[in-house]
Amino acid sequence: MPTVDIDPDELRELTGHEEKSDEELQEDLFGLGLEFEGWTDDDAFELEFAPDRLDRLSVEGVARSMRYQYGDSRGVHVPSTNGADWTIEVDDSVPDERPYVTGAVIRDVDLDEDGLDSLIQLQEKLHATMGRKRAKGAIGIHDLTMLKGRDALRASENASGDEPRASAATEGNPTIRYVGVEPDEDRFVPLDSDAELTPAEVLEEHQTGREYADLVSGYERYPAIYDDIGLFSFPPVINGRRTEVSTDSRDLFVEMTGTDQWTIDKMLNIVCYALAARGATLEDVRVEYPDGELVRPDLSTKTKRVAHDRIETLLGIDLDPDDVIDLAERSGLDATRIEDGATANNESTITPLEERDGLEERGGAEGSSESNANDAASTGELVYEVTIPPYRVDVLHPLDVIDDLGRAYGFNDLEPRYPEVGTVGGRHERSRLERAARTQLVGLGFEDLLNFHMIDEAQNYERLDVEPGEDAYGAGEPATIKEPYSEDYTMLRTWTLPSLLQVLENNTHRAYPQHLSEVGFAAELDDRENTGVAEGRHVGAVLADHEAGYEDAKARLQALARDFDVDLETPAADHPSFIPGRAADVVLDGENVGVVGEVHPKVLVEHDLEVPVAAFEFDLEALR
Amino acid sequence: MQLPESQIAVLETASADEATPVDALAAATDLPPETVTGAAFELEEEGLVAVAERVDETVSLTEEGEEYAERGLPEVRLYEAALEAGADADPAPMGQVIGNSGLEGAAVDIALSNYARKGYGSIEGGEITADPDAEPAADAEATALDELAGEGTLEEGDVLDQLERRGLVEVAESTVREVELTEQGVTELMAGVETAETVGQVTPELLTSGDWEDVEFAEYNVEADAETVEGGRVHVLREMSERVKDVLVGMGFEEMDGPHADADFWINDCLFMPQDHPARTHWDRFALEQPTHIDELPEDLVERVERAHREGVGDDGEGYHSPWDEDFARALALRGHTTSLSTRYLSGEQIGEIEPPARFFSVEKAYRNDTLDATHLLEFYQIEGWVMAEDLSVRDLMGTFEEFYAQFGITDIQFKPHYNPYTEPSFELFGTHPTTGELIEIGNSGIFREEMLEPLGVECDVMAWGLALERLAMLTTGAEDIRDLHGTLADLEFLRNAEVTY
């Protein structure tokens, strides 16, 4: 489970609860599902979090949730934003693999060391979770004062006529450009470096570059962000040193690039909320795609319609409508009662979104609830329209709202009850047959074993002197593992005898006789099966003791055949794992389903065994 | 009176005038000493003899002691060799004297350390002198050794202590029992005693003839250990699995069965796990190299599942902002959880449509391509269960799981709200360890999301939970290394000694 580090002093300050002891805070955090794992070296709490509430990846978000928990905050709060000054212009040259960008300007931040650490942690945790290790979304945060937008440039050095990419950027507004560049087209000084490097060189020479090289290795053109001075960021790999953020930074430019507009917009919202919680002012940024424009951050809210009845049945309690509204507000949501599926009286918080084909096909779901009928339409049922704040990324369905209400109510305050639902239980036939076979084997004196289904080729075949696909019982073609963790477990076993011999090998220091059996899984390739794998259960048995011989194995096999009322014949047959002349096919009710015999000395010696071993193995199905 | 043969023999051999040791009685009666002892105690209980005990010390030579008794004490042999070398007159070189003495190894040090102590001479600067007046023949230790070697005895004293310190003798204590007839014993003997017949084995003749009525059965030492029997037995983890199945069947659950190697579609997509979820791309997934893809998936179900991933379900639902690709869904892997069985059953694919209410379970293997250590296995048994009914609530879920865990002695279940992509609400289950009292995680549970159920065609609620069987087994058996329980590294001794689970 992922963890997040939270400084308890900061938490006290941001929640306004200076009086809370560390222990009280830990208890309150547990209530939010943030489990205290221990202290970090910097005296912060290390908290384990469930990866749904990604708005709690920093002390600011955790503090916000705690203020709701304490009752200090209620309902939805959306910070205001100032009108856009800056523009991100998206060039046609942007790599197709990473077409999306978003951004915001943050003014008047007051970042001390703790604040900066928190911002960096939030960035890292968002990368690790929503950003899918930067593949889906990557964040770049820059010191705004180090950026030179278009008109600043025009005023000072109008002469630079060789502007490489002509743009349709708004006249008079500062602009940065998201473009695609050839791997060695341009140079910049990346973070943690003194050298000017091309993007291709960054991927080879810079530590962070090497770490993230895989993300762009298939790209023809690399993503790059320019201001009028030049290249300053190489997303999703690394930023330039010029715009590095420090505790002296007052104004920030936050940009995010990715493979999905919704994802990076939500990541941006989480960052904006965190910085706003520290007193910063948010400012819109225009994102100009070749075919349309967005204004970001998108802090519009969403709504979900939740039926009162569903809340009551899912939680198993009766609730007053006012209680529901109270629980919603304590969860940081707003709820409005509507009857009969009517639309809520509209001071609707839904802002119409920019229509952009393709780009918004999934990011634009916010507007949909208004036009759709809802579950409770025209039945006179009590329904709530619940407003979801823009930092929430986990509310996909009205169910998720009910979960929030349940948490606010306190799940542990619910009284468990055994459901009054009558059903008839029973075992699967295969499982009954397995148990019956096992019981008979134990009655015959076998110690029942339970081995792994996975094995390696050497043990399954070579050490028993058989070849994959050979015409011998147990030597079918294997289903193999793509990237095995251990070289001892690379395939599904095709028979149980190799496992049983391995147990004998590992127990030569234990008392004999060792009569071991297993009714267990075996599988082999079979293209007649839908999965391409024929899975079955085998009955395997070994008799290891100083006088074990063919007849001992056959005697027990006969007993099993008698128990299950099947005819047993054992016509002589060669099998590489057994001594010639002392091996036979196991034919049950006329079907050749296994092998019985004395294990060949070369197989015994291979397993460091110094006693004879008689064995049999056959398909469990044959006992039906 | 009638007495068993052995008691009569002891009674007749014992004397009323003096106590006779058991060994002597055994020799006289030709019975094993333990039989005589047993008979004597029986007779004592009848008041016919008195049994007295005393502790005897016996002194015997150790191996080293016997060697010296035969070849002489090392220091004496050194003295004799020194005399031969003329060391009584002039100091002789030590190496030569030792060589002549035939002493070797540790015996040399023993000789040298006792030589001076006993006044046989002195050793200085690599030379040895011999005191001509010394009398090795009068050496008390040598004399005592000879005495002991000749079956004689040795009184307690300095010489014995010295020999014991040198490790040449051993003093052993033994209990000697002596038997003496009592007056009553004499009286009974005078009156005459008859032999009661004893038999060892019940035989067919004994039974058919009716003779069993007249015989006395020889008594056995019923307290002695018998020989070890290794019978067959069911594997301890299998016993646990059977126990779990019993409980679930008793609670009305029906067992599921299905493929171990399965399409990701059944393992993950049907569970509303986004395709870019870390668990699906993570290296702990056991993707198959061969075969690679399932042949067929139900087309309409694939469509519905894809739509749920992309758009969500219901009027207010929304999907994941993640890619979805059918080829990815068709890829084969060893199932990472047995929830793939649940999706197959819920969809109707496995046994046809299931009408609510219904309860299903499995205790089957799941696979994780992860570390193998004392608490992690690549393969483990997952207990999976679900209940399908109209209007199930979180309280029903809590009540069901409390009932289940109570069957294993785990009470006071705590429900910690949790997140799973396929359940909402979701809970981690915590319980108190029955012996250590520690709070430990014992399962994961929740109510299946509508995005999962709707595409599967399920129109009511389904609540589900899962946990590892090994975890329950370690809890209840106290096993500390999971590898002892499961797999080819299993120790037969551990399995043979494991306590039966029921």
A624, pLDDT greater than 70: yes
Q: Quick one: pLDDT at residue A152?
A: 42
pLDDT band at B86 (very low <50, low <70, confident <90, very high): confident
Listed in sequence order, the residues at least 6 apart from A523 whose beta carbon sits closer than 8 Å to its beta carbon are A453, A479, A492, A493, A494, A533, A534, A535, A536, B260, B261
pLDDT band at B283 (very low <50, low <70, confident <90, very high): low
Q: Quick one: pLDDT at residue A361?
A: 41
Q: What are the residue ranges spanned by the domains of chain A?
A: 3-70, 81-151+173-296, 301-340+381-411, 429-623
Indicate yes or no: CB of A418 within 8 angstroms of CB of B396: yes
Mean pLDDT, residues B3-26 taken together = 87
Contact list in A for residue B296 (CB cut-off 8 A) is 530
Residues 234-253 of chain B with CB under 8 A from chain A are 234-235, 237-238, 242, 245, 248-253
Mean pLDDT of chain B, nearest integer: 87
Query: Which of B339, B350, B258, B271 is closest to B305 using CA atoms?
Result: B271
How far apart are the CA of A43 and the nearest CA of chain B, in angstroms? 26
Q: Which CATH class is domain A301-340+381-411?
A: alpha beta
- Asked if B193 and B3 count as a contact pair (C-beta separation under 8 A), the reply is yes
Lowest mean per-residue pLDDT among A420-429, A556-565, B213-222: B213-222
Q: Quick one: pLDDT at residue A24?
A: 94
Helix and strand totals (H; E) in chain B: 22, 20
What residue spans of A359-508 are helical by DSSP H?
A: 368-371, 398-409, 429-443, 457-460, 497-505
Rounded to two decimals, the ipTM of the complex is 0.87
pLDDT band at B282 (very low <50, low <70, confident <90, very high): low
Q: Quick one: pLDDT at residue B85?
A: 82
Mean pLDDT, residues A431-435 taken together = 97
Q: A495 — contact with chain B (CB < 8 Å)?
A: no
A471, pLDDT greater than 80: yes
Q: Quick one: pLDDT at residue A167?
A: 46
Lowest mean per-residue pLDDT among A183-197, B87-101, B395-409: B87-101
Binding residues of B for Mg(2+): 424
Higher pLDDT, B374 or B47: B47
Lowest mean per-residue pLDDT among A5-19, A442-456, B15-29: B15-29
CATH fold, domain A81-151+173-296, is Phenylalanyl-tRNA Synthetase; Chain B, domain 3 (3.50.40)
Mean pLDDT, residues A497-507 taken together = 96
A307, pLDDT greater than 60: yes
Instruction: Give the count of beta carbons closer than 10 Å to the beta carbon of residue A336.
Output: 16
Lowest mean per-residue pLDDT among A28-37, A66-75, A153-162, A206-215: A153-162
Q: Quick one: pLDDT at residue A45?
A: 95
pLDDT band at A151 (very low <50, low <70, confident <90, very high): low
Between CA A119 and CA A53 the distance in angstroms is 17
B312, pLDDT greater than 80: yes
A78, pLDDT greater than 50: yes
pLDDT band at A366 (very low <50, low <70, confident <90, very high): very low
Lowest mean per-residue pLDDT among A308-322, A452-466, B484-498: B484-498
Q: Quick one: pLDDT at residue A343?
A: 52
Q: Quick one: pLDDT at residue B175?
A: 82
Task: Say whether the peptide bond before residue A236 is cis (omega within 30 degrees of 0).
Answer: yes
- Asked if A379 and A340 count as a contact pair (C-beta separation under 8 A), the reply is yes
Contact list in B for residue A511 (CB cut-off 8 A) is 228, 230
| Per-residue pLDDT tens over the stretch A105-144 | 999 998 999 899 999 999 999 999 999 999 999 999 999 9
A619, pLDDT greater than 90: yes
Q: Quick one: pLDDT at residue A161?
A: 43
Above pLDDT 90, what percent of chain A?
Answer: 84
Listed in sequence order, the residues at least 6 apart from B153 whose beta carbon sits closer than 8 Å to its beta carbon are B59, B147
Higher pLDDT, A170 or A301: A301
Residues 377-406 of chain A with CB under 8 A from chain B are 394, 396-400, 402-403, 406
Residues 525-564 of chain A with CB under 8 A from chain B are 525, 527, 530-533, 535
Contact list in A for residue B358 (CB cut-off 8 A) is 423
- Asked if B163 and B141 count as a contact pair (C-beta separation under 8 A), the reply is yes
Instruction: Give the count of beta carbons closer than 10 Å to the beta carbon of residue B113.
Output: 12
Q: Quick one: pLDDT at residue A340?
A: 58
Lowest mean per-residue pLDDT among A212-226, A322-336, A514-528, B194-208: B194-208
How far apart are the CA of A622 and the nearest CA of chain B, in angstroms? 19
CA separation, residue A275 to residues A20, A139, A327, B468 (Å): 24, 14, 27, 43
B222, pLDDT greater than 90: no
Q: Quick one: pLDDT at residue A352?
A: 40
Indicate yes or no: CB of B290 within 8 angstroms of CB of A525: yes
Local structure of B428: helix, strand or coil: strand
Contact list in A for residue B313 (CB cut-off 8 A) is 397
Q: Quick one: pLDDT at residue B65?
A: 83
Mean pLDDT, residues A347-356 taken together = 41
Q: B299 — contact with chain A (CB < 8 Å)?
A: no
B11, pLDDT greater than 70: yes
| Phi, psi of B180, deg, nearest 5 | -135, 140
Q: Rounded to the nearest 10 degrees, what angle do helices A59-70 and A113-128 cross at?
A: 90
| Per-residue pLDDT tens over the stretch A6-45 | 999 999 999 999 999 999 999 899 888 888 989 999 899 9
Mean pLDDT, residues B67-81 taken together = 84
What residue spans of B177-263 are helical by DSSP H?
A: 183-191, 204-209, 236-250
Distance linking the first and last C-alpha atoms of chain A: 46
Instruction: Give B228: exposed, middle or buried? Use CB within 10 Å, 0-12, 13-18, 19+.
Output: exposed
Contact list in A for residue B248 (CB cut-off 8 A) is 425
Between CA A240 and CA A232 the distance in angstroms is 5
Above pLDDT 90, what percent of chain B?
Answer: 36
How far apart are the CA of A575 and the nearest CA of chain B, in angstroms? 24
Lowest mean per-residue pLDDT among A250-259, A434-443, B491-500: B491-500
Q: Do domains A81-151+173-296 and A429-623 have the same CATH topology?
A: no
A591, pLDDT greater than 90: yes
What six digits make up the tokens of A481? 């593992």
Q: Quick one: pLDDT at residue B121?
A: 84
Contact list in A for residue B418 (CB cut-off 8 A) is 33, 50
pLDDT band at A150 (very low <50, low <70, confident <90, very high): low
Above pLDDT 70, what percent of chain A?
Answer: 90
What six digits make up the tokens of B414? 């705590």
Q: Quick one: pLDDT at residue A153?
A: 43
Pair type for strands B254-255 and B261-263? unpaired
Listed in sequence order, the residues at least 6 apart from A162 whose beta carbon sits closer than 8 Å to its beta carbon are none
Between CA A541 and CA A617 the distance in angstroms is 6
In chain B, what are the helix, strand and coil shares in percent, each to the nearest 5?
40, 25, 35
pLDDT band at A371 (very low <50, low <70, confident <90, very high): very low
Between CA B487 and CA B355 the distance in angstroms is 39
Query: Which of B389, B388, B462 is closest to B423 using CA atoms?
Result: B462
Above pLDDT 70, what percent of chain B?
Answer: 98
Q: A445 — contact with chain B (CB < 8 Å)?
A: yes
**Residue of B245, B261, B486 with shortest CB distance to A523:** B261
Between CA B465 and CA A563 the distance in angstroms is 38
| Per-residue pLDDT tens over the stretch B228-256 | 888 899 998 999 999 999 999 999 999 99
B432, pLDDT greater than 60: yes
CA triplet A464, A470, A472: central angle to 5 degrees?
Answer: 65
| Per-residue pLDDT tens over the stretch B101-130 | 888 888 888 888 888 888 888 888 778 888
A564, pLDDT greater than 90: yes
A548, pLDDT greater than 90: yes
Higher pLDDT, A183 or B144: A183
The residue written with tokens 């080879």 in the block is: A204
Listed in sequence order, the residues at least 6 apart from B218 whose beta carbon sits closer than 8 Å to its beta carbon are B4, B198, B199, B200
**Residue of A33, A53, A442 with shortest CB distance to B234:** A442
Mean pLDDT, residues B362-372 taken together = 88
pLDDT band at A342 (very low <50, low <70, confident <90, very high): low
pLDDT band at A357 (very low <50, low <70, confident <90, very high): very low
| Per-residue pLDDT tens over the stretch A241-267 | 999 999 999 999 999 999 999 999 999
Q: Quick one: pLDDT at residue B481?
A: 74
The yes/no answer on whether domain A429-623 falls in CATH 3.20.20.370 is no
| Phi, psi of B59, deg, nearest 5 | -105, 130
**Residue of A397, A452, A523 with shortest CB distance to B451:** A397
A374, pLDDT greater than 60: no
A493, pLDDT greater than 50: yes
Lowest mean per-residue pLDDT among A411-420, A593-602, B101-110: B101-110
Indicate yes or no: CB of A397 within 8 angstroms of CB of B249: no
Higher pLDDT, A448 or B194: A448
What six digits make up the tokens of B270? 């049907």
Amino acid code (one letter) for B9: A
Q: How many CB pairs under 8 A join A and B?
A: 290
How far apart are the CA of B220 and the nearest CA of chain A, in angstroms? 28
Dihedral, CA of residue A192, residue A198, residue A203 and residue A204, to nearest 10: -90
**What architecture is domain A3-70?**
2-Layer Sandwich (3.30)
